[in-house]
Amino acid sequence: MTGGGEPAALLIDFGSTYTKLRAVGLETGTILGAGQGPSTVATDVNRGLDAALKDLEAHLGGLPEFRHRLASSSAAGGLRMVTVGLVRELTAEAARRAALGAGAKLVGTFAYRLTRADLAEIEALAPDILLLAGGTDGGNAEVVLHNARVLAGAAVDGPVIYTGNRAAADEAADVLRSGGESVVVTENVMPEFNVLNIEPARAAIRGVFIDRIVHAKGIDRAAGRFDAVMMPTPAAVLEGARLLAQGTATQPGLGELLVVDIGGATTDVHSIAGGEPSREGVILHGLPEPFAKRTVEGDLGMRHNARAIIDLAGATAVAADAGLDEARVGALLDAIAADVERLPETPDEHAFDRALARAAVRHAVARHAGTVKVVQTVTGPATLQEGKDLGRVETVIGTGGALAHGQDPAGVLAAALADPADTGSLRPKRPRLLIDREYLLYAVGLLAEPAPDAALKLGLAHLSDVTPQTTGEAAHERAIHVG
Amino acid sequence: MTKAQATPGYDRSAKTLVTGVIGADTHIVGNRILSMALEKEGFKIVTLGALTPADEFVKAAIETAADGIMVSSLYGQGELDCRGFRDLCVEAGLEDILIYVGGNLVVGRQDWADVERRFLDMGFDRAFPPGTRTDDVVRALDADFAERERRSAKAS
């Protein structure tokens, strides 16, 4: 033990490949050291944790006194969830947003009355948690009760979180329990028409995650070694983004922001923004948006879904963006399909990865951002907005391998910005571009609750500004300033 | 003008009504006045506002288990926008929902009885001409809901 130094926090991520540790100084908000061990989620998590601690100790020459030990997990493909609602655009959509905001991996969404075929599909999906919504409070009870009866017989291990019509909660819970399901009842995700109330459902999901999933994945074998707080890694990223945007009681944050996380299988987008119309007279339409919103694009990933990106963006466009011919793009795509662990080495491979990442970012942010359209009425044109207007967002943060290790992070992140040729898509107009090169956002999110000031310092100190200069000088990295 | 009855013979607070302006129509004021008046009389109101497509009325009515839908149209295109509205409700399992329509439903000077007939033929329970007072609407709702309660009491 070194002792005597500044108090520290230990951050643990139980991943599906590695057990990663970081020791963070609570006064300076700096990384004291990092350690890594294998993922031993399949056997005994303690072994991976021991190996990682030994690694950390070797780096630090001794372990500091840890005041907090905080853990997140992205292991075993994450928290698999299925959501069920009534109308697809209303309670089914609200349930979907709650699940995504809780950091879940959404494997299926269902609306209206569940059929036998739906039930078979849900059983095959084997979710860790089922989220059951439907009806506003005092509204439709019949469909959510029907769905509770169908789910009561489901051969699914995970519990059901009931977040539907309050008036039907007791009956639905009884029906589900008599079918042998374990049930958690929480507030309605849509208590009134078009009123979104996802925080209670998110809290319930997190509670179930700690109680059951941590146990199912064997992480509780190491439970005595970290504090009870534990989050799915994507939920920690969203909390980290929220802290960076809003700041703490003593330090201002960065203001409204967007986070783009390009992974091998998916691209996640988080926005911490109100998204109100930026012009007067614009009419808002559709379900209100959560202030802290996460979307996951399951078809946009740099490795497992490289082909899907090409299918969506078009091989010609991607080839042109990469400065390669289409045959070469096809060959590079085949090489990735044959080896998803492959990292770019040659100039061609780097150019191809850059173009893939740009296409993934463009489509992921376009789907996350709101849209406007002009409707002609007899009194003249009217502008309708659906979703968030992110035009005034001041900061876009990029993370994930393609941004952290790529050669042109600014060029990739610029694909998130508004396109003058597509004014219907409400993407950020003139934000600064920051890179989270060390993938620290999850750590910021874990620390946000017990040590917000240290967490904010940690986040701000490790974001590098890659905003291109308007004078035309080459992008260079600068420390960022807040104020 | 007669005041709406204070005791309508059924529980207004148990009735949910969806209100909105249908189609590419931005005239929200009359609809807002109607919504506020109905709320004041005790009904539970779900307001969709201007520029509401027909299917959104129906979706809102499903989630809230609404008892009635009040469609406003003030720009003369109501006949086009409202075509098939009852069918949409029936499709969605809302066979018996009460549907009213009101406003400047058609262009030009047309005989109201004729206009009303066309909207009733489309499956609306009632149609209201320009200048209708909110009290008239409340009285119509009271009569229709009370009638429905009597019918369902008789049937059971």
Q: What residue spans define the domains of chain A?
A: 8-76+214-241, 78-203, 242-465
The CA-atom distances, in angstroms, between A460 and each of A224, A244, A249, A254, A409 are 31, 8, 16, 9, 18
- CATH no. for residue B136? 3.40.50.280
The whole-angstrom separation of Cα A409 and Cα A467 is: 10
- Chain B residue with the nearest C-alpha to that of A135: B63
Q: Give, for A443, the enclosing helix (H) or strand (E).
A: helix A441-447
The whole-angstrom separation of Cα A332 and Cα A343 is: 12
pLDDT in tens, A80-139: 899 999 999 999 999 999 999 998 889 999 999 999 999 999 999 999 999 999 999 999
The answer, yes or no, to whether residue B133 has pLDDT greater than 80, is yes
Mean of pLDDT values over A268-294: 92
If one counts the domains in chain B, the total is 1
The answer, yes or no, to whether residue A275 has pLDDT greater than 60, is yes
Which residues, including other chains, have CB under 8 Å from residue A199's CB and lie 6 or more apart? none
The whole-angstrom separation of Cα A16 and Cα A214 is: 14
At A110, list the tokens.
Answer: 């269902």
pLDDT band with cut points at 50, 70 and 90 for residue B35? very high
Examine residue B88 and state whether it is found in any structural domain, yes or no.
yes
Mean of pLDDT values over B130-150: 94
pLDDT at site A151: 97
pLDDT at site A401: 84
For the whole model, what pTM was predicted? 0.87
Q: Least CB-CB distance to A139: which of B25, B49, B65?
A: B65
Question: Is the CB of B50 less than 8 angstroms away from the CB of A285?
Answer: no
Tell me the residue range of the domain where B86 lies: 12-155
The answer, yes or no, to whether residue B41 has pLDDT greater than 80, is yes
Please identify which residue in the block is written with the tokens 């009681």.
Answer: A249
Say whether residue A138 is in contact with chain B using an 8 A CB cutoff: yes
Say whether residue B127 is in contact with chain A using an 8 A CB cutoff: no
Taken in order A256, A257, A258, A261, the sign of the CA dihedral is negative
Of A211 and A300, the structure prediction assigns the larger pLDDT to A300
pLDDT band with cut points at 50, 70 and 90 for residue A76? low
At A91, list the tokens.
Answer: 């309670």
pLDDT at site A73: 83
Which chain A residues are Cβ-neighbours of B17 within 8 angstroms?
Answer: none
Examine residue B5 and state whether it is found in any structural domain, yes or no.
no
Examine residue B22 and state whether it is found in any structural domain, yes or no.
yes
pLDDT in tens, A412-433: 999 999 999 999 999 999 999 9
Q: Which of B27, B125, B136, B144 is catalytic?
A: B27
pLDDT at site A19: 87
Say whether residue B67 is in contact with chain A using an 8 A CB cutoff: no
Closest by Cα among A257, A386, A414 to A321:
A414
Say whether residue A139 is in contact with chain B using an 8 A CB cutoff: yes
Which chain A residues are Cβ-neighbours of B18 within 8 angstroms?
Answer: 193
Examine residue B6 and state whether it is found in any structural domain, yes or no.
no
CATH 3.40.50.280 fits domain A8-76+214-241: no
Question: Is the CB of B63 less than 8 angstroms away from the CB of A190?
Answer: yes
Which chain A residues are Cβ-neighbours of B44 within 8 angstroms?
Answer: 138
Closest by Cα among B114, B105, B110, B102 to B141:
B102
Interface mutation target, options B46, B63, B106, chain A, most CBs of A under 10 Å: B63
Examine residue B3 and state whether it is found in any structural domain, yes or no.
no
Mean pLDDT taken over chain A: 90
pLDDT band with cut points at 50, 70 and 90 for residue A483? very low
Which chain A residues are Cβ-neighbours of B63 within 8 angstroms?
Answer: 86-87, 90-91, 134-136, 139-140, 190, 193
Question: Is the CB of A377 less than 8 angstroms away from the CB of B63?
Answer: no
Examine residue B124 and state whether it is found in any structural domain, yes or no.
yes
Question: Is the CB of A140 less than 8 angstroms away from the CB of B16?
Answer: no
Question: Would residue B121 show up in a list of annotated catalytic residues for this protein?
Answer: no
Bridge partners, residue A24, by sequence: A9, A31
Please identify which residue in the block is written with the tokens 């942010």.
Answer: A365
Closest by Cα among A49, A100, A48, A110 to A79:
A100
A31-38 sheet: strands from edge to edge: A31-38, A18-25, A8-14, A66-73, A230-232
pLDDT at site A474: 44
Examine residue B1 and state whether it is found in any structural domain, yes or no.
no
pLDDT at site A472: 44
For helices A306-313 and A326-338, angle between their N-to-C axes, nearest 10 degrees: 150
The alpha-carbon gap from A86 to the nearest alpha carbon of chain B, in Å, equals 7
pLDDT in tens, A162-214: 999 999 999 999 999 999 999 999 999 999 998 999 999 999 998 888 777 67
CATH code of the domain made up of A78-203: 3.40.50.261
State the amino acid at position B135 in one-letter form. Answer: D
Question: Would residue B27 show up in a list of annotated catalytic residues for this protein?
Answer: yes
The CA-atom distances, in angstroms, between A255 and each of A252, A272, A365 are 8, 8, 18
pLDDT band with cut points at 50, 70 and 90 for residue A75? low
Bridge partners, residue A293, by sequence: A271
Q: What DSSP string describes B65-90?
A: T-SEEEEEE-SSBHHHHHTTHHHHHH
Mean pLDDT taken over chain B: 91
Q: Least CB-CB distance to B26: which of A86, A138, A377?
A: A377
Interface mutation target, options B64, B94, B95, chain A, most CBs of A under 10 Å: B64
Examine residue B4 and state whether it is found in any structural domain, yes or no.
no
At A100, list the tokens.
Answer: 């995504």
The alpha-carbon gap from B1 to the nearest alpha carbon of chain A, in Å, equals 33
The whole-angstrom separation of Cα A365 and Cα A425 is: 9
Interface mutation target, options A89, A91, A136, A196, chain B, most CBs of B under 10 Å: A136
